[in-house]
Structure 1
Amino acid sequence: MRQALRQKSSNGGANRLPTSKATFLPSPTKGWYVGANLSDAPKGTAYILDNAFPQLDYVRMRGGSLAYATGMPNAAVNSLIPYINGTTSKFFAGCNGGIYDVTGAGAVGAAAVSGLNSTAYLEYMQFTNSGGTWLMVVNGVDAAQLYNGTSWTTTPAITGLTGGNLAFVWPFKNRIYGIQTASLSYWYLGLNSIGGAATQVDMSGIFKYGGYIICGTSWSISSNSGLYEVLALITSEGEVAIYDGLNPADTAWTLKGLYKISKPLGRRCILKAGGDIAVMTEDGIIPMSSAMTLDQIALQNVAVTKPIAPAWRDAVTARQGLTGWQIVTWPLQSMGIINLPKTSTGDATQFVANVRSGAWARYLGWDANCFGVYNNVLYYGTSDGRVMQAETGAQDDGKNYTWTVFPSYNDLGSPAVVKHVKMVKPRLQSAYPVVPQVTVKVDFDTTKPQAPTASFAAATGALWDTARWDVATWPADLTDLSNWTDAEGFGSVISPVIQLTLSTSVTPDIRLTSIEILYETGNAVG
């Protein structure tokens, strides 16, 4: 039986029952935060935020995943490649030595390109010249594969390469630049050319820490005279060289700076973000602009990943030597996704962020080797030769998953006073009835509660592409599902953990806007 805390009266007389108080905690829209002492975490953050996405005004349960493209060999899909030319678009996947057309849903046909010696990681770029809009795909082993919107070819071939074919390509001032698998040289083609003779530029005398060039990109830098475009080269050891000029043969070609950052995480470590470039490194995701003014250690203080710095460090340490890191954005949902290499067969972990607010969360359950965005929809490639559509349905390929919101600890305004939490009201909005599990954690207990059993939620209206027009009814609007739940806890700091597991095919639209707490206070600790 629940028993209320008691406290002495002011005159030392008989004890009296305390008065219950109610307070509320905002939904942790500031995201997952483990970058400070547990007692000093910012308000509006969460110690654990799993399978949840922090919107600007609420935290939502993520969607599941459904099979989109099937029929490829039972092998890892490590590359998803979109092609867009005007109103024409295509979507390709690299799997088991082949490139498959996965533009349409369902079983794929024969490989559009077969016999490749490696599809472990295909890198690509689009380039437009007088001959059309080309998709160039490279892997460091085979000749560059070219797609012109209709067919694949290897002509015109890139000639003059020594030491292997290109492993990474990018455009800069109407030329294609590329690097090989393990070299301190880069190569460039003629003006507006997609093939022909390549010219080598040896950087071994510039980079002082050795290693090899892992990737390159163009970057627009603002100056007093306006924007100007530079070439950026990044090595495996974290050196960054910035060049200005038309091309390396230009007499005005100038090394603008040589900078040091932490080691980058794979070739897919760069992302253009506004007027800056984000670089994914062992110390976190850092803005390139800051690398020009801060040393390697100081860059950790401006890293985009600073709120989750310990978790980032643990993830990097656990994945030393593994490939599969990728940073990608889904602009439609303002979402940034960091795909983590698999530490084991069952590892299915991604770090996600709201790119508008910088709030982080963690997704668990997607067997993803790579991500791609096509026609504003998010997809990922699996370990068994399929392409999945992400953030749809409420199961991960038929498996349930659990939404966990573990807010950062809060002293409710009285740090040295014991509280007796009696009831909790999660303020939820949902299109169908759900009943979350509520667990009150106290005094910095960081143990994640066991996942609740699945709720069998059912939609109350029509499903798109399934229901009959003018016959079925539309799904219900979001309704308030805020109810007080018995949930007890005794401690000086409190965290009401909200969890939900669904068993349904309906994509969840479940939003947590705040959490109310009913509690009593006792004597000061000690």
Structure 2
Amino acid sequence: MAILPRSQRLALAAQASARPVSVPAPITGWNARDALDEMPATDAVLLDNWYPDYSGCAVRNGFVLYSTGVDSSPVRTLAEYNAGATRRFLAAAGGKFYDISIAGAAGAPLASGFASDAWQTVPFLSRLYFCNGIDTVQVFNGSSFASASFTGASSLAFIGCIQYQNRLFFWLPNATGFYYAPLNSISGALAFFDLAAFAPHGGNLTAAVTFSHDGGNGVVDFVAFILSSGDCLIYSGNDPSNVNAWSLVGIYRISPPVSPRAVCQYGAEAFITTYDDHIPLQQQLVALKLGQLPPRSKVSTAVQNAVRANLTGFGWQALYYPRGRRLIFNIPNADGTFSQHVQNTALQTQPWCRFTNMNAYCWGLFRDNLYFGAAGGVVYQADSGNLDNIGPVAADARQAWNTFTDPMRKRITAVRPMIQAVSGETVSFGLGFDYGDINIALSPTTAGAGSPWDISPWDTSPWSPDAIVDPRWRVGGGTGQSIGVRMTASANAPTVWLRTDFRFEQGAAL
């Protein structure tokens, strides 16, 4: 019987003692809140342009050029007019309004001569109202713009507007109260309602939003007025002039909103970007009512850092994108770029990620598609195609550190990233140990080998039949108690990170 050389015997022994373990991709999303050693294994320390979803983490879709010639200034407002059979897509730049309902070069402006392009909008009775805090309120009727014809206010240069209980509400910059219009009216005398007496900490009205709540006796609609001090006044009713038809439900103290635009609705809930977090308002109010500390989202620390860096920057916005089943919070960065904190609302865990390389001054929806306004009078359609205009989508992820439920030191002998991609897509990965840096230097993996992925449940996913998973193992290396994985992609086609397989040898505690 032949005796194997010592090197082969050691190699065989190592293979026999190597333990296999599989770790799902970071489908519970970006976690910028928790300590590195407290994160679940399926969280991510960084998750840029990887979108956590049912099937794993997918490289986000790209964006394509939609409209040009919207002046030569940044496009700071996008809004859809949708009434009856008429739908129009409107953009504001350079003190002008443009109709960009048809893709391509924008035509002549519909209206011009405005001092600001940062308009807040609200639809009401087949009209779309625009407020920017400097110019008189503008009203679009489906074909043309005109100044609002309300009376009763010292100025019609309102900065904010909402509709609630069949009535329009407006507020001025640096004012504590709001104006409200007659019921079901697009003209007439406005009346003022002063909130100063009900705001314990003072401040000016920054944002207002409506939400609904079912307390067991049917759904009740509420409106929240939020001041720069953080005072949040909740009202119900339909007539502020009638004490029997307008009641103060509660006064709460929350973190102040960063902008009138940083507010949106999803379902019965209202979401607000505050100095501290992207908050679901009802959830906050329930916790405060019970005397509890409101929960923090996993991206709360990232929000706080962004606010400290560029609170006064233009571009803060919140938007719900129904077709994509996600909330998008636009973040203006201190270096002049923009990023987005994105939450997948379709999953029970509602995971977060961050989108980068989409320098969006504003976001808007038109015919259920997603668009953003950019510099130079350009509008792009987002969530479209697999390229960022003309280049690949660059994605980067660092998954949470993982001890594999074993406090002992480990030596990684082999690694197998399971990536579903069209043949030729390249994804690179690297390993790190014990919270150190992770460099992309271990080995690139190219989805150019293996069989088509046709094993349930993945065979029901909408991928090209050319999408495959590379089953090959890569040689590992390095030792540590906690293991980290970094995954990058430069994708030109759909690419999904399914999981990562490891083989490791267990060592001593020290």
Scaled to the shorter chain, the TM-score interval is 0.7 to 0.9
Provide the C-alpha distance between the structure 2 equivalents of 1:113 and 1:224, rounded to a whole number of angstroms.
48
Alignment partner, residue 516 of structure 1? 501
Asked whether the 8 Å contact 1:425–1:515 carries over to 2, the reply is yes
Q: CA–CA distance in 2 between the matches of 1:16 and 1:63?
A: 42
* 3-state SS of paired residue (2:299): helix
CA contact (8 A) 2:428 2:444 kept: no
Where does 1:426-465 land on structure 2 (aligned, <5 Å)?
Answer: 426-447=417-438, 449=440
Letter in 2 for 1:162: S
Partner of residue 124, structure 2: 127
1:367 aligns with 2:359: yes
Which residue, 356, 378, 390 being the options, matches 1:398? 390
How far residue 300 of structure 1 moved from its aligned partner, in angstroms, is 6.1
Contact kept, 8 Å, 1:286 with 1:299, in 2: the verdict is no
From 343, 346, 363, give the equivalent of 1:353: 343
Q: Which of 442, 463, 482 pairs up with 1:493?
A: 482
Match of 1:49 among 15, 37, 47: 47
Counterpart position of 1:464 = none
Deviation at 1:348, TM superposition (A): 2.9
Note the C-alpha offset of 1:383. 2.2
**1:35 aligned to 2:33?**
yes
User: Gaps spanning 5+ residues in structure 1: where?
Assistant: 8-14, 458-473
- Inter-CA distance 453–340: structure 2 relative to 1 (3 Å threshold): farther
Matched, 1:256 2:249: yes
Amino acid at match of 2:500: I
- For the structure 1 residues 134 and 484, does the alpha-carbon distance in structure 2 shift closer, same or farther, using more than 3 Å as the test? same
CA shift for structure 1 position 299: 7.1
RMSD value, Cα: 2.8
Question: Alpha carbons of 1:213 and 1:360: their partners in 2 closer, same or farther (altered >3 Å)?
Answer: same
**Residue 480, structure 1, aligned to residue 440, structure 2:** no
CA contact (8 A) 1:79 1:371 kept: yes
Write out per-residue CA displacement over residues 193-212 of structure 1, whole angstroms, 9 at most, x where no aligned residue: 11221111122222122221
**Distance across 2 between alignment mates of 1:284 and 1:296:** 19
CA distance 1:243–1:190, change in 2 (3 Å) = same
- Does the CA contact (< 8 Å) of 2:429 and 2:442 recur in 1? no
1:399–1:430 CA distance, 2 compared to 1 (3 A): closer
1:227 is displaced (CA, Å) by 1.9
Q: 1:16 Cα shift?
A: 7.9
SS of 1:294 mapped into structure 2: helix
1:270 aligns with 2:281: no
Go from structure 1 to structure 2 and tell me whether the alpha carbon gap of 1:82 and 1:285 turns closer, same or farther (over 3 Å shift).
Answer: same
Tell whether the 8 Å contact from 1:286 to 1:300 is kept in structure 2 after alignment.
Answer: no
* 1:100 aligns to 2:89 (yes or no): no
| Cα separation, partners in 2 of 1:299 and 1:434, compared to 1, 3 Å | farther
Deviation at 1:87, TM superposition (A): 3.6
Q: Aligned residue for 1:147?
A: 140
Q: Does 1:173 align with 2:165?
A: yes
Question: SS where residue 221 of structure 1 aligns?
Answer: strand
Contact 2:426 2:447 in 1 (8 A): no
User: Alpha-carbon deviation of 1:213?
Assistant: 0.5
1:311-326 pair list within 5 angstroms = 311-326=302-317
Give the CA deviation at 1:309: 2.5
Q: State the shift of 1:289 in Å.
A: 2.1
Q: Aligned partners of 1:365 and 1:127: how far apart in 2?
A: 35
SS in structure 1 at match of 2:123: strand
Give the aligned partner of residue 460 of structure 2.
none
Q: 1:225 aligns with which of 197, 200, 217?
A: 217
Secondary structure class of the residue paired with 1:384: helix
Structure 1 position 520, deviation (Å): 2.3
Q: Are the equivalent residues in 2 in contact too, given 1:348–1:365 (CA < 8 A)?
A: yes
Q: Which residue of 2 aligns with 1:385?
A: 377
Quote the Cα distance in structure 2 between the aligned partners of 1:184 and 1:309: 28
Give the alignment partner of residue 60 of structure 2, picking from 59, 62, 74.
Answer: 62
**Match of 2:17, SS?**
coil
Greater mean alpha carbon deviation, residues 306-315 or residues 190-199: 306-315
CA-to-partner distance for each residue in 1:481-523, whole Å, 9 max, x for gaps? 3332334332111122221113x4xxx311111111122233x
Are the aligned partners of 2:100 and 2:106 in contact in 1 as well (CA < 8 Å)? Answer: yes
1:294 aligned to 282, 287, 297, which one?
A: 287
Q: Secondary structure at the match of 1:436?
A: strand
1:275 Cα deviation from its structure 2 partner: 2.1
Pair 1:190 & 2:188 matched: no
Per the normalisation by structure 1, the TM-score is 0.85
Alignment of 1:245 onto 2:237: yes
Whether the 8 Å CA contact 1:283–1:300 is kept in 2: the answer is no
Name the aligned partner's letter for residue 511 of structure 1: V
Change over 3 Å in CA distance of 1:297–1:74 after alignment to 2: farther
Q: If the length of structure 2 is used for normalisation, what is the TM-score? A: 0.88
| Pairwise CA distance, 1:443 | 0.8
The SS at the match of 2:304 is helix
Q: Which residue identity lines up with residue 278 of structure 2 in the other structure?
A: I
CA distance 1:330–1:290, change in 2 (3 Å): closer
What's the counterpart of residue 3 of structure 2?
none
Which residue type is aligned with residue 346 of structure 2? R
- Trace 1:17-36 onto structure 2 (pairs within 5 A): 19-36=17-34
299 and 377 in structure 1: CA distance in 2 versus 1, 3 angstrom threshold: farther
Structure 2 residue identity aligned to 1:488: G
SS at match of 1:69: strand
The 2-side partners of 1:23 and 1:456 are apart by 22
How far apart are 1:274 and its partner, in Å?
A: 2.1
Q: Which residue of 2 aligns with 1:467?
A: none
Task: Indicate if the aligned counterparts of 1:34 and 1:41 stay in contact, CA closer than 8 A.
Answer: no
Contact 1:452 1:500 in 2 (8 A): no
Helix, strand or coil for the counterpart of 2:430?
Answer: strand
* 1:21-68 Cα shifts (integer Å, max 9, x gaps): 321101111011232221121131111111110012311001222211
Give the superposition deviation at 1:176: 0.7
Equivalent residue letter for 2:430: T
Q: Give the number of equivalent residue pairs.
A: 485
- Shift of the 280–98 alpha-carbon distance from structure 1 to 2, 3 Å rule, reads same
Residue 327 (structure 2) aligned to one of 328, 332, 336: 336
Q: Separation in 1 of the partners of 2:506 and 2:447? A: 37
SS at match of 2:395: strand
Contact 1:291–1:299 (8 Å) recurs in 2? no
CA contact (8 A) 1:439 1:487 kept: no
| Sequence identity (%) | 26
| Residues 260 and 291 in structure 1, CA contact (< 8 A), matched pair in contact too | no
Q: Distance in 2 between matches of 1:164 and 1:22?
A: 68
Deviation at 1:163, TM superposition (A): 4.5
Q: Is the 8 A contact 2:78 2:89 kept in 1?
A: yes
**Cα distance in 2, alignment partners of residues 451 and 184 from structure 1:** 59
